[in-house]
A and B are shown apart, each in its own frame.
Chain A
Amino acid sequence: MKSIQARLSLGLVGVLVVVGLALAQISLWLFEVGLQRYLETGLRKESENLLVALVRGHSGLELDERRLSSAYQRPFSGYYFRIDFEGGSWRSRSLWDMDMPRPPTPGLHAGLELGPAGQQLLVLRADYRRLGQAISISVAQDYTPVRDGFRRMQQLGLGLGLVALLLILVLQRITVTRSLRPLERTREQIAQLQQGKRSQLDSEVPVELEPLVAQINHLLAHTEDSLRRSRNALGNLGHALKTPLAVLMSLASSERLNDLPEVRAQLQAQLEQIQQRLSRELNRARLAGDALPGAHFDCATELPGLLSTLGMIHGDHLLIRHQVPDGLSLPWDREDLLELLGNLLDNACKWADSEVCLSIEQEGGVYRLWVDDDGPGIPENARAGVLERGARLDEQVDGHGLGLGIVRDIAEAWGGQMRLLESPLGGLRVSIELPRRVAR
């Protein structure tokens, strides 16, 4: 799609050029017609003068030379006449040896070319009767200077028109930019929305944009609301199922079942399966994914709380370090990322002897997270089993199984990859690569 600015400029230029040219041409034409009419009056007067100069002489009609203007005597002066009557025709001296044809009809004629200088003549033929004879007087005037004047005026007008066009374009650009500024602001805000720097669009916008912005805000609020509601519903479901499950687990290990060890073992195994399935599915279902902009994970504000929580849960003997670039913000939902990091670190803390290290780095479009511990690690041939999709939950290594399964679910929901490696600290390194989300 072309930008509105370009469309407006193009349209305006088109309209201005068409209208401007038409207007200039018409006004020039009208002006020329008016001028010719004015000149016609002069020519008619000249012809009448000539008519008066016709006198009866000894051999019929004669032209009284004294009454003729001197312009008719000078060769190619630009003023010519020709008088036709029954006995012949006279031409003015100014015509020299050129012949000026008699216009076929009485009235004004333009466009006659004459002489070595290529003079354009405006000719008026008038027919009279005098002294009993039909006399046709054609008076001509050199029109070239006027025509040159017109041409110059045309060029000048064209130049002026171009300058005006440029001026109008510049002014229009300024006006359009000014009036499109709210649109530009909205565009910037939408970009910020995608980067998670704001959660709503500014509603102080011109009337035209109001429905759009209101609709976007409404959709955002609606998405957020329904996400929150479904999370709450899931939480409630979890609550509703987990408490009875806790009762059952407590019952299963109570003394009342001391005499029935097989029943107890069965009960405990099944309950364990229900519990793991439940927490994993609940977690998978409540993943926000990228449904919501906003609420990004700001490492500087979230990590200290998470790490101190882990420290509190696992005791003070563990050193939990983190290496995270300053001001790093991860473009995923805060709660989901807390869940991912919490499970990762919790798992590492469970197995570590004395040290756990979290590193996050951003490289191009990829975020790399890895967690190292100095615990026993997992032998290489067993690593695949821990992560294998569809591996029965009760076969998974306790601790490694559930937590890492949840982590893998989250990473996969984000299009990421999770790998188990050997840590330089001696234990397990869990490495996760998350591709940066493409801005929509």
Chain B
Amino acid sequence: MRLLLVEDNVPLADELTQSLQRQGYAIDWLADGRDAVYQGSSEPYDLIILDLGLPGLPGLEVLAQWRAGGLSTPVLILTARGSWAERIEGLKAGADDYLSKPFHPEELQLRIQSLLRRARGLANQPTLQAAGLHLDEGRQCVSRDGQDVQLTAAEFRLLRYFMLHPQQILSKSHLAEHLYNGETERDSNVLEVHVNHLRRKLGRSVIETHRGQGYRFGGVVE
């Protein structure tokens, strides 16, 4: 999952970036509203966290420009101005959720998880379920038939993306774009290694390879 964080307060952005990376998200960070307008619509983000008090261009204006440009990525607004009048304004401008500062980091993580599932049309449930697997995002482990299987951070990130997009053919470059932020070196071999690790742990048929096209998750589980 690749997230864009638009926040002008550097300490907060640092904290959020670190805590979100621990949750297995790839984070790009911007501080200026004008940059955000461009990068938000040109890069394939899965979710955008937007602060409203931005230098360059106000957050609501940024959001309005994205929505006017047809961007449908879920946007979570983060703001210190938490009055209901402003909240309604933000959601009318096209935001999908609203979190007022200060907030508990867990609250932000829960909102992000539920927004990502909602964007994929999945029901709001405590664990992510697909193809007989239950993914516990808090503990970063997957369970099958009541049996826990431990995952590394990279495997967790990959599996979560697959489980949010079951039955879809995902190319390696698509996966790379959504699993790594703009600064990471993208090496498709690394992806192959992680896919093989997942197959070893969960069974070969969990992820099918479609030659020349990519991978597909959600085959019959053995």
Contacts and interface: CB of A to CB of B under 8 A. Distances in A.
Interface in A218-256: 235, 238-239, 242-251, 253-255
Contacts of B102: 242-243, 245-246, 248-249, 271, 275
Given A315-B124, A338-B84, A338-B85, A249 B91 contact: no
A247 B11 contact: yes
Interface in A148-170: none
Interface residues of B, number: 31
A249 B105 contact: yes
Contacts of B114: 315
Contact of A309 (B18, B87, B104): B87
Interface residues of A, number: 36
Contacts, number: 90
A247 B9 contact: yes
Contacts of A192: none
Interface centre among B11, B87, B114 (most CB of A within 10 A): B87
A222 B170 CA distance: 60
B92 A250 contact: no
Contacts of A255: 22
B97 interface: yes
B15 A254 contact: yes
B180 interface: no
Given A251-B15, A309-B87, A243 B101 contact: yes
Interface string A305-348: 11011001101010000000000000000110011011100000
Q: Give the secondary structure class of A's interface.
A: helix
Nearest to B106: A253
Contacts of A315: 114, 124
Contacts of B122: none
A308 B80 CA distance: 22
Contacts of B11: 244, 247
A343 B15 CA distance: 29
Contact of A343 (B18, B84, B124): B84
Interface of A: 235, 238-239, 242-251, 253-255, 271, 275, 279, 283, 286, 305-306, 308-309, 312-313, 315, 317, 334-335, 338-339, 341-343
20 contacts: A238-B82, A239-B53, A239-B80, A242-B80, A243-B9, A246-B103, A247-B11, A250-B12, A250-B15, A250-B105, A253-B19, A253-B105, A254-B105, A309-B84, A309-B87, A312-B97, A313-B97, A315-B124, A335-B83, A335-B85
